[in-house]
Amino acid sequence: MAYQALYRVWRPQQFQDVVGQVHITRTLQNAIEQSKVAHAYLFTGPRGTGKTSAAKIFAKAINCEKAPVKEPCGECHACRGIQDGSISDIIEIDAASNNGVDDIREIRDKVKYAPSSVDYKVYIIDEVHMLSTGAFNALLKTLEEPPAHVIFILATTEPHKIPLTIISRCQRFDFKRISQQAIVERLKRILDEEGIGYEEHAMTHVGLSAEGGMRDALSILDQAIAYSEDGQIHMQDVLAVTGSIAQEQLLLMVESLVNKDGKKALSLLDDMMQEGKDPSRFVFDFIHFMRDLYMFNSADNMEEALVRAIPNEQFEQVSQQLSTEWLEEAIAILNQTQQDIKWTNSPKILVEVALLNIQEIVTNKAIQSDQTTTASPELLQQIADLQKELNELKQSNRSSEQVEQPPNREKKKTPSKQNNYKIPYEKVRQTLSAATKEDIQTVKTNWAKFMEGLKKTSPPAHAKLVNSQPKAASSQSLILAFKYEIHCSLIQENQEMVEAALAEFLGKRLTMIPIPEDEWQSIREDFLSHQSQEESPESQTDEAPEGVEEDEDLVLEAKKLVGDELVEVKES
Q: Is the pLDDT of residue 417 over 60?
A: no
Q: Is the pLDDT of residue 206 over 50?
A: yes
Least confident of 15-29, 379-393, 539-553: 539-553
Q: What pLDDT, in 10s, does the model give residues 213-228?
A: 999 999 999 999 999 8
Say what the pTM is: 0.59
Q: What percent of the chain has pLDDT over 70?
A: 82
Q: Is the pLDDT of residue 535 over 80?
A: no
- What one-character-per-residue DSSP string does 257-303 give? HHTT-HHHHHHHHHHHHHTT--HHHHHHHHHHHHHHHHHHHHSSS-G
Q: What pLDDT, in 10s, does the model give residues 488-529?
A: 888 888 888 888 888 888 888 888 899 888 888 888 888 887
- Cβ proximity of 237 and 224 under 8 Å: yes
Report the pLDDT value the prediction gives residue 396, as an integer from 0 to 100: 63
Q: Is the pLDDT of residue 411 over 50?
A: no
Give the strand pairing for 150-156 and 171-174: unpaired
Report the pLDDT value the prediction gives residue 489, as an integer from 0 to 100: 81
355 CB burial (10 A radius; 0-12, 13-18, 19+): buried
Local confidence band at 15 (pLDDT 50, 70, 90 cut-offs): very high
108 CB burial (10 A radius; 0-12, 13-18, 19+): middle
Report the pLDDT value the prediction gives residue 99, as an integer from 0 to 100: 84
Q: What pLDDT, in 10s, does the model give residues 292-330?
A: 998 888 877 778 788 888 888 888 888 888 888 889 899
What DSSP state is assigned to residue 540? -
Q: What pLDDT, in 10s, does the model give residues 76-89?
A: 999 999 988 888 89
Local confidence band at 567 (pLDDT 50, 70, 90 cut-offs): low
Q: Is the pLDDT of residue 402 over 80?
A: no
Average pLDDT on 138-148 reads 88
Average pLDDT on 144-155 reads 91
Spatial distance between the Cα atoms of 42 and 168, rounded to a whole number of angstroms:
10
Q: What percent of the chain has pLDDT over 90?
A: 33
Spatial distance between the Cα atoms of 131 and 96, rounded to a whole number of angstroms:
7
Q: Is the pLDDT of residue 423 over 90?
A: no
Q: Which residue has the higher pLDDT, 30 or 397?
A: 30
Average pLDDT, the chain: 82
Q: What pLDDT, in 10s, does the model give residues 327-383?
A: 989 999 999 999 988 888 888 999 999 998 888 875 444 444 444 444 456 656 666
Phi, psi of 504 (to 5 degrees): -65, -25
Q: Which residue has the higher pLDDT, 158 or 458?
A: 158
Q: What pLDDT, in 10s, does the model give residues 249-301?
A: 999 999 998 888 888 999 999 999 998 889 999 999 999 999 999 888 887 77
Number of Cβ atoms within 10 Å of the Cβ of 507:
8
- What one-character-per-residue DSSP string does 170-184 give? SEEEEPPPPPHHHHH
Domains in the chain, CATH or no CATH each? 6-174 (3.40.50.300), 180-242 (1.10.8.60), 247-370 (1.20.272.10), 425-535+543-552 (3.30.300.180)
